A and B are shown apart, each in its own frame.
Chain A
Amino acid sequence: MSAEPDEQPVLEIRDLVTRFYTDEGTVKAVDGSSFDLYEGETLGIVGESGSGKSVTALSMLQLVDSPGRIERGSVRYRGDDLLKKTEAEMRSIRGNDIAMMFQDPMTSLNPVFTVGDQISRVIKTHQDVSDKAARERTIELMADVGIPEPTSRVDNYPHQFSGGMRQRALLAMAISCEPDVLIADEPTTALDVTIETQIFNVLDRLQEKYGMSIILITHDLGVVAGTCDRVAVAYGGRVVERAGVDALFENPRHPYTRGLMRSIPRLTDDTDRLTPVEGDVPNLTDLPSGCSFHPRCPHATAECESYDPELREVEPGREAACLHARGYDLSPSAIETERAEADGGGPTAPATDGGEPR
């Protein structure tokens, strides 16, 4: 599962840049993000708060509001650039081809309409069906996501639902038109762990049933390990590492990913304290020069301060945006080669898997 499939991706995001023009300055929320989503897979986008994960997702659906603006890049959905679509065209894609669900189930449903009305409205927006058919489909969907007694619950208001049930209802709404892609933005962050497991089980079953591709945005590496096929690690508004989930956990190649891994508690460890990633999340109005991670990076060299590394292949099916990612070879000659390649702009030489100094 971890190797990158050969087929054409469902979604291809390239060099996406979204900025917010605030009074305090320009916030580079998404700063050159690139990743792919393949048919039927679950891609995890991991990162700390403020790494631009959610804005990336909103940008893909052109849901970024003023003062935010998508500056450049492309979001190809089955070959079509979504960023070139008009608002009317986007409306027929949102919820129909690509659906999105948000973090907080308590506030994501409209309190003054019944849950059933909110789900069937989405169906009626995208499909030419009668009220009765939409209602029947809604009840089916509610049963599908595991809401008990859907025939009576369909007429309930959101406040009569628990948090977990509301998230299920939102999931039902998101899959109501059988979208190709489901973007789930921290879908379980507001829920407790048992409910979280239930939601992911439902998500898993639905993915199989409808053949959806899922983008799962989370800050929780545990969630990623349990649910994703591939992972994109976000930092400072861009993707700094892409890999299959097993490969990533076995051998993280970007120093930031390594830092994240070290900060996960392990039952088998004797250590009293976790090792945090030193330093703070970068201020997106004023990103550090060069590699935006260098002030926090234990391997940073003088080059990292001025040279901004691109995401590139470090081994087949794996990419990392770090000057030293090829096994952290920090010898002057290795850096020299790296720079020569960067200056020359030629194709990347086949990656060599070097040893990792710890």
Chain B
Amino acid sequence: MSRFVLKRLLLSIPVLLGVSVVVFALVHLAPGGPVRVMLGPLSNEELVRQIRLEMGLNRPLYVQYGMWVFDALQGDFGVSWTVQQGTPVTDIIVERIPLTVELSILSMITAVLIAIPAGIISAVRKDKPADHAARIAALSGISIPDFWLGIILIMIFAVQFSFPWATGGWTPPWVDPVANLQQLFLPVITLGTAYSALIARMMRSEMLDTLSQDYVKTARAMGIGAREIVLKDASKNALIPVVTVIGVGLGQLMNGAILTETVFNLPGIGKLLILAIDRRDYRIIQALILFIASVFVFANLAVDVLYAYLDPRIRHDGN
């Protein structure tokens, strides 16, 4: 198993290098630039050229890329140009990571805790009222865009009922855990709904499939109880493909975090990314995208490891 993990870790290096090239190219190809943002629309062309020269933006792209990668490999992502001038990029990002990580993990846990039982109940009660209710809820959850859901939730809870905790903002959990959870309540619902719906639908169809398998028939013929068959025999098999969806869905969650943080005015990395793109702060954009890509790669690795744990066929074939 450790060999497998090591192999996968080595394989992730070229992936991340590739990501860095693409991001670097895209960012520099976008029109405008940090200098124009700094100087404003009425800037003097001569001044722009001079500052670009000072910032090294006039050098060939491959040289700039080389320098950036060289520094990045040593953990130095430079200082911010336009978002927080002079502050190291790493500091800016690290400061905002806890919020996004907390938001994502809470959304993920909530979604899984709701979706897995919902999917199981839906499958066991196929074509009964509980199933219909769960399926309608899931379909709605997938169909509603999260930014819209967020706005509606704000309108109901903040505008209509004026709940003080519904007005956005973020208090770190180590400062005030209760306020922290209250503030994240609506964002978690916003971010988790579509994700949860996706998992529930997948879980339902996988459960329907496993419940009709011969090994379930065998277990029943041996006198094993229905509850044990559903929760043990069928669920463990059904979870194998669902774990993939959960892992891949983490990407969707990151996407959603950008919108959710913007709607609820949460100072996380999603909001930072929007700000950095707006202000052409290349260094922040590059570092952030690389960070998000790493999360992706490691989530996929985690899925594969989990897969091997759930499915003995993979565990043994791997070696």
Interface residues of A (CB under 8 A from B): 61, 63, 87, 90-96, 99-102, 104, 107-114, 121-122, 125-126, 157, 159-160, 170, 173-174
CB distance A111 to B311 under 8 Å? yes
Would you give 14 A-B contacts (Cβ < 8 Å), ordered by A?
A: A61-B221, A63-B217, A63-B220, A96-B223, A99-B221, A110-B215, A110-B218, A111-B312, A112-B310, A112-B311, A113-B233, A122-B222, A126-B223, A157-B316
A91 to B227, CA, bound (A): 12
Known: A108-B218, A111-B311, A112-B236. 12 other contacts (CB 8 A): A92-B223, A102-B218, A107-B214, A108-B214, A109-B215, A110-B218, A111-B237, A114-B312, A122-B223, A126-B223, A157-B312, A160-B316
In the bound complex, what is the Cα–Cα distance between A63 and B220 (angstroms)? 8
B58 within 8 A of A: no
B215: chain A residues within 8 A (beta carbon): 107-111
Question: Shortest beta-carbon distance, A119 to chain B, in Å?
Answer: 9
Beta-carbon contact of B316 and A159 below 8 Å: yes
Min CB–CB distance A190 → chain B (angstroms): 11
Q: Give CA–CA (A121, B224) in the complex, Å.
A: 8
Contact B221–A102 (Cβ < 8 Å): yes
Query: Is residue B162 contacting chain A, with contact meaning CB distance below 8 A?
Result: no
B224 lies within 8 A of A125 (CB) = yes
Instruction: State whether A91 touches B312 (Cβ < 8 A).
Output: no
Interface membership of chain B positions 222-244, coded 1 if the CB is closer than 8 angstroms to chain A and 0 otherwise: 11111000000100110010000
- Interface SS of B by simple majority: helix
- Report chain B residues within 8 Å CB of A92: 223
**Is B7 positioned at the interface, with any CB of A under 8 Å from its CB?**
no
Does B219 make an interface contact (CB < 8 A)?
Answer: yes
Query: Which B residues contact A (CB, under 8 angstroms)?
Result: 213-215, 217-226, 233, 236-237, 240, 310-313, 316
Q: Is A101 within 8 A of B223, CB to CB?
A: no
* Bound: A107/B316 CA distance, A: 18
Residue among A92, A96, A112 with most chain B CB within 10 A:
A112
In Å, the complex CA distance between A91 and B223 comes to 4
When distances are taken between beta carbons in the complex, the residues of chain A under 8 Å from B220 are 63, 94
A112 vs B218: C-alpha distance when bound (angstroms): 14
- A113 to B218 Cα, complex, angstroms: 14
Residues in B whose Cβ lies below 8 Å from that of A122: 222-224
Query: Contacting A94 at CB < 8 Å: which of B213, B221, B233, B311?
Result: B221
- A-chain residues with CB within 8 Å of residue B226 when the two chains form the complex: 87
In the assembled complex, the CB of A72 is this many whole angstroms from the nearest CB of chain B, namely 23
Q: How far is the CA of A122 from the CA of B240 in the complex (A)?
A: 24
Residue contact B221 to A100, C-beta cutoff 8 Å: yes
Q: Which of A61, A104, A112, A126 is B312 in contact with, Cβ under 8 Å?
A: A112
Q: Inside 8 A of A96's CB, which chain B residues have their CB? A: 223
Chain B residue numbers with a CB within 8 Å of A121 are 224
B233 to chain A minimum Cβ distance, whole angstroms, is 5
> Which 9 A-B residue pairings sit nearest by Cβ, starting from the closest?
A95-B222, A95-B223, A94-B223, A100-B221, A107-B214, A110-B215, A157-B312, A108-B214, A122-B222
Query: Contact between B218 and A170 (Cβ–Cβ < 8 Å)?
Result: yes
| Contact residues in A for B218 (Cβ distance below 8 Å) | 101-102, 108-110, 170, 173
CA distance A91 to B222 in the complex (A): 8
**In the complex, chain A residues whose CB is within 8 Å of the CB of B233:** 110, 113
- Provide the bound-state CA to CA distance between A107 and B224, in Å: 17
| Chain B nearest Cβ from A276, distance in angstroms | 30
**Which residue of chain B has its CB nearest to the CB of A112?**
B236
Quick one: given A102-B214, A107-B215, are A112 and B222 in contact (CB under 8 Å)? no
